[in-house]
Amino acid sequence: MSRAEDERDDVEVSRLIAGAAKALAPLRNCWLVTAAESSGAHARPMERLKRDPDESEWTIRFLTDGRSRKASELRRDGKVAVVFQHDGDDAFVTVIGTARLREEASEVRRRWKRAYDVYFPSDRDRACAAFVEVEAERLELWIRGVTPEPFGLHPTILERDAGGWRLVRARHSSR
């Protein structure tokens, strides 16, 4: 690949990442999909927590109960998908990555907010609280006006490694 092609790819990746970040910015709710123990998958609606100011925008965090089926599935297999939909922008983003269950008392105390007490009312319940941190490794994008036409026919796929994000596939219409 020539230097000019590399630079074009870098610009395209930057544009796609910016489009995905813009689509996700206002969204609090999404679906967390985990691998079921007996095959298949379990999907449940989740509320994404605000990220720390110094954190990557591609770290997604949730609060959960360490006694839940979700927590058991994450302990067994940390690979997850997080699915976002923004109807107003006709944007759909699937974040695929590795989830880490943060159950350490010090971490839970550090992140705890009084608003969480409604979900964990007793000391016994709070002792089971955990945070789920998902580090995005792959994005599958369908964002009108950002990803290639025809819209919705194929995802645009980006993958992240130590060197950053790279475009894996963006299908264009052959028509």
All structural domains of the chain with their residue ranges: 3-170
Displacement of CA 39 from its chain's centroid (Å): 22
The answer on pLDDT for 173 being more than 90 is no
164 versus 170: the higher-pLDDT residue is 164
The answer on pLDDT for 3 being more than 80 is no
Cα–Cα dist 82/74, whole Å: 13
User: Could you tell me which of 171, 172, 169 has the C-alpha nearest to residue 157?
Assistant: 169
DSSP run (H or E) holding 78: none
How much is the pLDDT for 171? 57
- C-alpha pair distances (Å), 67 with each of 46, 83, 168: 16, 23, 37
Three-state SS for 95? Answer: strand
Please, which pLDDT band fits residue 37 given cuts at 50, 70 and 90? confident
How much is the pLDDT for 175? 41
Cα–Cα dist 74/39, whole Å: 14
**3-170 under CATH 2.30.110.10, yes or no:** yes
Tell me whether residue 163 is exposed, middle or buried, using C-beta atoms within 10 angstroms of its C-beta: 0 to 12, 13 to 18, 19 or more: exposed
pLDDT digits (tens, 9 = 90+) for 91-139: 999 999 999 999 999 999 999 999 999 999 999 999 999 999 999 999 9
- Model pTM above 0.85: yes
pLDDT digits (tens, 9 = 90+) for 50-74: 988 888 889 999 999 999 999 999 9
Neighbours of 140 (CB within 10 A): 20
Quote the tokens at residue 99: 């989830």
